[in-house]
Amino acid sequence: MRLADLNITRIRKVAGLSIHFIDPQTVKYHLCVLVRKGSSILVEENHEEVESIEEVAEKLPKNVPVVLTISGRNILNKDVPKDEFESVKQQYFPETEESDFYGNALDFEEHSYLSICRKSIIDPILEELEKNKIIIANLSIGAYTAIAYWSFRLTESKELHLGESVLTLNSEGKKVKLSSGNTSNSSLNIYGDELPSLLLLPYIGALTYLLKSKSVIPVGEVSTSIVKDFQYKHLMDVLKIPALAVVFLMLLINYFVFDSFRKKDTVLGGQLNMNAGIISKLDSLDKELKAKEDYIAFIGNNKTYFSLQLDEIGQSVPSGIILNTLTINPTINKMKEGETIELKKGIELSGTARTSLVVNEWTKELSDIDWIREVVVVDYHKDLNNLRGEFIIHIELKE
């Protein structure tokens, strides 16, 4: 069918689902899927008889909003003059809470058409639909929903056969009468399309949802939350892929940034380790230099004093001794790169002597000098092949 003169929503596809109560034990499901192509609305698929809600879920296209219409038993339908609507409404809730019911009131010409049903009957259906991931975007109650066929001028017929009931428009076109009757084999021609009577309610529900004007079919109290829930889910579905793309792009950017910093960190870490080695070596050299400077300063400050001492030691050397070295404040250990120099205060003498007796006599003579505290023979040894023995003497000075 073509509806070029009617405003159409941006939603491209919608499904109409009719749940009809034959009796407390028997429920029938009717499904119709409409698709919008430009200014035309076409029936994409329909299912007159569906056995269960699970089967409805299988036949529904994915992520398509569903307009639910509930009709049949357990629904109270009443038409009243518009000016008497509020007073009649009070008659149905004398001892019950209005919040215990779902209902919608449809204004057509001079009458209001009221359809109500207990929430205790509809809520389990909504829960079952939600359990099967069926998105309910709108809810209408009662066969009066089909009055929209006349509101939209979709048919010239004065009777609408809805399968188990009939809507009749009086000759003046002012009032609608609802009566029972099995008309499941009839159909309605809508702009050249033959629509089975069992699909009239789901069809008009889906069609009304596709149109911008929804004033023709008021929705039940549940519709506000249901529509918001559908809009949220639909928005999430629309944004899902772009959102994932944005997240992936951000992760990719973070990876490259992190990788760049990681490489810089590796380079800087290597340079730091190299510099740490250089700094450690410089620190060691600095300590060694300071020790040598202190030693040179010490020698420089005491050069006159040591000159006198060395002269006196030199004059005391007996003829049987040959003096090879005379060291002021000798090092305790051999000097090595990177190690601190340790000095042994005093004077160290080394040389050769004919006998150890000569060495002992000389040490006694040195001990008598007033500025010497102690004389120690550190070493004396003589090889059998050598006529002279080698010695080392350490002289400790008085403070």
CB 5 within 8 A of CB 204: no
User: What's the chain's average pLDDT?
Assistant: 77
Please determine, for residue 49, whether its predicted confidence score (pLDDT) is greater than 70. yes
Distance CA 387, CA 354 (A): 7
Class of domain 13-221: alpha beta
Q: What angle, 0 to 180 degrees and rounded to 10, lies between the N-to-C axes of helices 356-367 and 303-316?
A: 140
Amino acid 10: pLDDT: 64
Closest CA to 130 of 233, 39, 202, 211: 233
Average pLDDT on 340-349 reads 82
Say whether pLDDT at 105 is over 80: no
Whether residue 249 has pLDDT greater than 80: yes
In this structure, of 180-184, 205-209, 395-399, the range with the lowest mean pLDDT score is 180-184
Does pLDDT of 141 surpass 50?
yes
For residue 21, give every residue at least 6 positions away whose Cβ sits within 8 Å of its Cβ, in sequence order, or none: 27, 70, 71, 72, 73, 74, 75
Task: Decide: 79 and 176 in contact? Cβ < 8 Å.
Answer: yes
What pLDDT score does 232 carry? 46
Give me the pLDDT at residue 9, please: 56
Using 50, 70 and 90 to split pLDDT, how confident is the model at 166? Answer: confident
Q: Distance between CA 327 and CA 299 in Å, rounded? A: 11
Fold match between 13-221 and 303-397? no
Answer yes or no: is pLDDT of 5 > 70.
Answer: no
Residues 36/8, Cβ–Cβ less than 8 Å: yes
Q: How many CA within 13 A on the CB side of residue 248?
A: 6
Does residue 319 register a pLDDT over 70?
yes
Q: Could you identify the residue written with the tokens 């000569």?
A: 358
Confidence of residue 391 (pLDDT cuts 50, 70, 90): very high
pLDDT tens profile 216-226: 333 333 333 44
Per DSSP, what are the bridge partners of residue 372? 397
- Put the strands of the sheet holding 101-108 in their side by side order: 76-81, 111-118, 101-108
Give the pLDDT of residue 89.
Answer: 59
Q: Which of 240, 234, 235, 210 is nearest to 63 (CA)?
A: 234
Most confident of 32-36, 89-93, 98-102, 237-241: 32-36
pLDDT > 80? residue 302: no
Model pLDDT, residue 351: 92
**Best mean pLDDT range from 37-51, 62-76, 108-122, 361-375:** 361-375
Q: Which residues of 349-381 are buried (b: 16+ CB within 10 A; e: fewer)?
A: bbbbbbeeebbeebbeebeebeebeebeeeeee
**Which residues is 284 bridged to in the sheet?**
none
Report the pLDDT value the prediction gives residue 184, as an integer from 0 to 100.
Answer: 65
Q: How far is CA 286 from CA 27, 280, 296, 333, 397, in A?
A: 99, 10, 15, 19, 30
Contact between 313 and 304 under an 8 Å Cβ cutoff? The reply is: no
Contact between 122 and 70 under an 8 Å Cβ cutoff? The reply is yes
Q: Could you tell me the pTM of the whole model? A: 0.52
| Beta-bridge partner residues of 375 | 395
Burial of 175 (0-12, 13-18, 19+ CB in 10 A): middle
Residues of the chain with pLDDT > 70, as a percent, come to 80
pLDDT at 98: 66
Mean pLDDT, range 211-219, rounded to an integer: 44
Look at residue 215 and tell me whether its pLDDT is greater than 60: no
Only one residue has tokens 């050249």, namely 192
Average pLDDT over residues 274-291: 83
Does 255 score more than 70 pLDDT?
yes
d(CA 322, CA 325): 10
Confidence at residue 392, expressed as pLDDT on a 0 to 100 scale: 92
Res 195: pLDDT:
82
With a cut of 70, say whether residue 69 has pLDDT above it.
yes
Residue boundaries of the structural domains of the chain: 13-221, 303-397
- Backbone phi, then psi, for 348, in 5-degree steps? -115, 130
Q: Which residue has the higher pLDDT, 84 or 245?
A: 245
Report the distance separating Cα 84 and Cα 66, nearest Å. Answer: 33
CA distance 35 to 16: 11
| pLDDT at res. 35 | 86
From the list 311, 342, 44, 295, the residue with the least C-alpha distance to 193 is 44
| CATH T-level fold of 303-397 | Alpha-Beta Plaits (3.30.70)
Contact, 306 vs 328, CB < 8 A? yes
Confidence of residue 237 (pLDDT cuts 50, 70, 90): low
Ranked by mean pLDDT, the top range of 125-139, 169-183, 221-235 is 125-139
Q: How confident is the model over 181-192, as a mean pLDDT?
A: 73
Half-sphere CA count of 158, side-chain side, radius 13 A: 8
